[in-house]
Amino acid sequence: MPPFPLPARPPIGYAKRMDLTVQDLACARGGLPVLEGVGFTLRPGRALMLRGPNGIGKTTLLRTLAGLQPALSGTISAPPEAMAYAAHADGLKPTLSVEENLRFWARVFGQRDIARALDEFNLADLAHRPAQNLSAGQKRRLGLARLLVTGRPIWVLDEPTVSLDTASVALFGAAVAHHLRMGGAALIATHIHLGFEAEELDLTPFRARPRAMDRFDEAFA
Amino acid sequence: MIALLIRDLALAIRAGGGFGLGLAFFLIVVVLVPFGVGPESAILSRIAPGILWVGALLACLLSLDRIFALDFEDGSLDLLATAPIPLEGVVAMKAAAHWVTTGLPLTLAAPGLGLLLSLDPAAYGWLVLSLALGTPALSMIGTFGAALTVGLKRGGLLLSLLVLPLYVPTLIFGAEAVVRGAAGQSNATPLLMLAGITLATLALLPFAAAAAIRINLR
């Protein structure tokens, strides 16, 4: 027996430390371009907070990175397979228990261990309760615990702290900080401070210019 | 992918999952027919194969809009689309779960209901065989229809309109196989056509359905 506890072996995904470099990305919502020329680099162990007013295209950008919709142009260095996406909906089944919900997502992502996810989000006591009997904040915590069982290095999170109380936000902040220490990265659209060092990216300068306006200007130039 | 099948089956048998709804609907349709056309066994036995096949088809239709709608509403579909399993596999598993909860019970219950319609004794085996061959196609075509209408509010009616015409070949060959079997004629041709339709839908529609979902998720 070693005299000190061995550190837990990180899930497979963390082994592949991955830079996320986005260059000159343009993306559309409902067929209309909302963002263009977006560029940033996210290194392993770092977090990037997306800022910008409502409707600027934070969700659109995150869905594009997660591979849910194609980019209009530009390049994304990391494949969608490196990203764990979490948005407003948690993907929970009301008639399955907390443990069953989490175990399902773990199996889909080829992982086995869900104990750490239950612990980090303080869900162990609720493990056998059906998801329909959880409060909004507890559901959110379960939805975020899913990120831990994906084993993917880059977390792409859209407003993760909605309906979380202060204590739960602290739990979530600690989980993200732990993920970063393990060599993961996180891209988070949020308006609040999560309690760890992170760079910020304001999307306002990347707002797509209306095409019709351009032609109007040219005509009168 | 097996995890998805197991989860969908678990959801179906839990409260509000809808398991048995299709079966109960099938039972009611078949019980209603003798009230409508009268109890003469000669007439009933003549129309029994058609009634049983139409009943099975409508019972299948009943639960189609649940296939993707619930997963779309709670965000699971977004997450499944970003998961390591291919969307084509997700579609195939969804169709398989629908068949196990709908097509398989219908196939097993059909002989009992054939009794109510005084189905020709020679036809029971052919009825079970034709339903076993044909209902996977019903589930797969229905899953494709559900993929086309995912994200539409109250898309259930549109789904029925899209899917029912596509069910026609399966219905024709399925009922024909039973009728010919009951009459003691050779029914190899309709059975082979039925099997062919099922295999073709299983081979092609997962790709079409996955493409439809990708577009609907944008």
Interacting residues of B19 by C-beta distance below 8 A, sequence separation 6+: B12, B13, B101
B13 at the A interface (CB within 8 A)? no
Name which of B176, B161, B62 is nearest B130 in CA terms: B176
Q: What pLDDT score was predicted for residue A12?
A: 45
Q: What is the pLDDT of residues A114-130, one digit of tens each?
A: 888 898 888 889 889 99
Question: Which phi and psi (to 5°) does residue B181 adopt?
Answer: -60, -40
* Domain count along chain A: 1
> Domain of A170: which CATH number?
3.40.50.300
Test A89 with B78 for CB contact under 8 angstroms.
yes
Test A95 with B17 for CB contact under 8 angstroms.
yes
- Interface predicted TM-score (ipTM): 0.85
Total residue count of chain B as it appears in this document: 218
Selected for mutation to probe chain B from A83, A97, A103, A107 (highest B CB count within 10 Å) is A107
Least confident of A10-14, A83-87, B35-39, B160-164: A10-14
- Calpha distance A118→B30 (Å, rounded): 49
Q: What is the DSSP letter of B101?
A: I
If interface means Cβ-Cβ distance under 8 Å, which residues of chain A face chain B? 66-70, 80-81, 83-85, 87-93, 95-96, 100, 104-105, 107-110, 146
B218 at the A interface (CB within 8 A)? yes
- Residues of A whose CB is below 8 A from B15: 95
A54: amino acid identity, one letter: N
CB-based contact B102:B60 (threshold 8 Å): yes
B10, B78, B85: residue with CB nearest A108: B85
Whether A28 is in a domain gets the answer yes
- In terms of residue numbers, what domain contains B64? 2-217
Residue B9: other Cβ atoms inside 10 A: 16
Interacting residues of A128 by C-beta distance below 8 A, sequence separation 6+: A97, A98, A99
Average pLDDT on A160-174 reads 88
Whether A204 is in a domain gets the answer yes
Whether A114 is in a domain gets the answer yes
Whether A162 is in a domain gets the answer yes
Q: What is the pLDDT of residues B103-131, one digit of tens each?
A: 999 999 999 999 888 888 889 999 999 99
- Residues of A whose CB is below 8 A from B150: none
Mean pLDDT of chain A: 83
Instruction: Count the alpha carbons within 13 Å of B28 in the hemisphere toward its beta carbon.
Output: 8
Name which of A103, A92, A173 is nearest A135 in CA terms: A92
Whether A149 is in a domain gets the answer yes
Inform me whether the pLDDT recorded for A9 exceeds 50. no
Q: What pLDDT score was predicted for residue B92?
A: 95
Inform me whether the pLDDT recorded for A31 exceeds 90. no
Name which of B146, B162, B137 is nearest B8 in CA terms: B146
Whether A129 is in a domain gets the answer yes
Whether A11 is in a domain gets the answer no
- In terms of residue numbers, what domain contains A183? 18-220
Whether A191 is in a domain gets the answer yes
B33: amino acid identity, one letter: V
Q: What pLDDT score was predicted for residue A10?
A: 44
Question: Closest residue of A to B81, CA-based?
Answer: A68
- Residues of B whose CB is below 8 A from A105: 79
- Calpha distance B93→B216 (Å, rounded): 19
Q: Is A137 left (phi over 0), alpha (psi -120 to 50) or beta?
A: alpha
Give one DSSP letter per residue of chain A, joined into a string: --SSPPPPPPPHHHHS---EEEEEEEEEETTEEEEEEEEEEE-TT-EEEEE--TTSSHHHHHHHHTTSS--SEEEESS-GGGEEEE-SS----TTSBHHHHHHHHHHHTT----HHHHHHTT-GGGTTSBGGGS-HHHHHHHHHHHHHHH--SEEEEESTTTT--HHHHHHHHHHHHHHHHTT-EEEEE-SS--SS--EEEE-GGGBPPPHHHHHHHHHH-
Q: What is the DSSP letter of B84?
A: S
Low-confidence residues in chain B, pLDDT < 70: 17
Q: What pLDDT score was predicted for residue B107?
A: 94
Test B82 with A146 for CB contact under 8 angstroms.
no
The b-or-e profile of B172-204 (16+ CB within 10 A means b, else e) is ebbbbbbbbbbeeeebeebbebbbebbeebbee
B67: amino acid identity, one letter: I
* Domain count along chain B: 1
Q: What pLDDT score was predicted for residue B2?
A: 86
